Structure 1
């Protein structure tokens, strides 16, 4: 009830401004010991994925906390893991504002943020200041390329970020699927992805020897893929022995929001209209992978039933983003409880 009232106020503001105020509010609740006012207890439901023991399978997707400024406050809401980023080697402002648009009639959002972030070194400073990783909390770090790095040099940016974040991360996500950085999705194509994954896995092996620990690598893919593309990506994930895959990012399609205000804005669509498309890709991927690479399901989770549907489609873990904006922290416990019930069946 409290979050519902707060959301009504926040939704009177520009979405990006509201997001900043909301994150400041989460920080204040944590500092005041009042997180219980908006979040419910999350049932324990441990699961082992990518060699990591997660206390529950409900995580926060990248994009909510791009620079890792709110890690402890977000973790206090009950998430089993937190993913921060997308981060790039150098700071960059992202695309011009406005770049974030609500479609409340469908519980959806369109964004064209463009990897706005303060750079990898600033993110690492925030991680170093956070208690959550020191207490054993599971922290994923999502990496990308700078907008002005030529696509044929993109691997250099990913290698730079991987080396910088390796020691601080529980796992690292390679984001090649944002629709808001020009030409980025070209890296999902067969030859480009084959080369990128091979390069990153070689670097992962060197870093594992250097640091004396193995940090898993996951790939985040788009929902705008046909069956042959899903099969090709699955084959590459298996060939390179990737540790995980996150399905899916936002979509360029506008199914389910046609004719509504903001529906024609450029950018990636997320929220309830993405659920069916995301789950279809997730399920095709699960069949193609046949259990060889675990899947983290994200896209369109607005209820506990939606989260359970991701697991039924083949995911081992789930992540929230747009549903977290519309439903608030109570969605974390609801999703975790629904998955826990499914695990007991």
Structure 2
């Protein structure tokens, strides 16, 4: 069983297993956060409960002992909990009072609960579902090592495989490219129409601060890369200060492992340090079909300016060659990610 009290190691923060004696405090907390809870989740049932119904719910979850109050200096400020999906695999859920969001308390509480589940329950995997657009929640999960596992129309499922139970698939990790990585990129993409001079140029651009180059690896093998261009060559992005993700490529042998999604997510996170919006452009013909689907599933939407060629809009009635030059610009709001 899980312990009744869990110490996250943060001064003033603690987790305690909830019971029906917490009904009044929990009901008041939910009511204070009605707007916050319903913005990115299905909390209608929780919001509708009165104190007695809240007590009854707490009594039901008390049996399992997997739902914890997040307490800050003695005050209930949120919830974290586990659901036995298929032990030793568990689902997790969490939320925090809006006034305490962004302080790292949710991350600390969830991290402590996952560690306790591994130690006390022998948990091997933890899953979490996040409503599309809830970037703050995605940030919490990614900071703990969760990876995107599945995408659905209204939400995304994230997965954390706990240490000691290795995933048989190669692990994808993303990092800023260094000198060695640039050499590896040039070798890995030698059979592509990507001359080594291109990666030399990318290295210079990163050194000058014009762009950031991210590399994805499957264990020790290069899987792909992309750039975050701080000042876009696309005039509407440049004038609005929107960073652009460009030249995202994954080697065919490394596809299907999530390298493209990881690169995209990391690029969005890096871009969010400078702008509330990030952009990209994608080609129109079938070879770009997988990329188009990935961007739409990730929440990118057209910028409303139609097709462009070399940064200029294509006027109505124009005849264009459908090669790599005609593109559609897409954007996504990344405000709130951390």
Normalised by the size of structure 2, how large is the TM-score?
Answer: 0.29
Normalised by the size of structure 1, how large is the TM-score?
Answer: 0.29
Quick check: which one's strand share is greater?
Answer: 2
Quick check: which one's helix share is greater?
Answer: 1
Report 1 or 2 for greater relative contact order, CA contacts < 8 Å, sequence distance ≥ 6.
1
Computing the radius of gyration over CA atoms, which structure comes out larger, 1 or 2?
2
